[in-house]
Amino acid sequence: MRQTEEVHLPINHRLGGFYRFLAGLAGLYLLAFGIVGLTKTRGQDFFERSTTEALGLRTNPAFAILSIVVGAIVLLGALIGRNWDHYINFAGGVIFWLAGLIGLLVMSTEANILNFNISTAIVSFIIGTVLFLSGLYGKKGTTEEAVHEEIFRHSGRGAAAVIPTPEHTVSAHPGVAHPEE
């Protein structure tokens, strides 16, 4: 497997299972929120902007169905594992952060089709952070890949290994010999 110099994520991190569990809980919450929201918004217009709440957050049928779908995907990723969870959670974290930001931007406009409010945006940021951390630390690989990654991460090689300046040399790891590559 070829290592890239841009991104080096830990492989087989000791807390990977814990983060996977947290992502599974986030998926369960989204699933429960969607199901409760769908039952509470039965009969409403799909994109209705009302004060209907489910588990403390405002919702409408569109948001409830979206939450069921996303919650099921996150939960399945956590249950299946095998790096599916790594990719799902990494992308899901970014998407939830963006959803929270966009929700804040459109909150007081007609473009607020998912019935967002401040609480919904904050929960979106929290779920996004949990998923993103799960994606960062949930990568699995062989023992050989994990050892190779650890050696690379702590060797000082890579883009920031040695940066020559006019007066001195800046090193990512002072005292570590950097072989010329």
pLDDT by residue (tens digit) across 108-156? 999 999 999 999 999 999 999 999 999 988 888 888 887 777 777 766 6
Residue 162 and residue 169 in contact, taking contact as beta carbons nearer than 8 Å: yes
Answer with the residue of higher pLDDT: 37 or 181: 37
pLDDT at position 137? 87
Is 0.85 surpassed by the pTM of this model?
no
For residue 54, name the pLDDT band (cuts at 50, 70, 90). Answer: very high
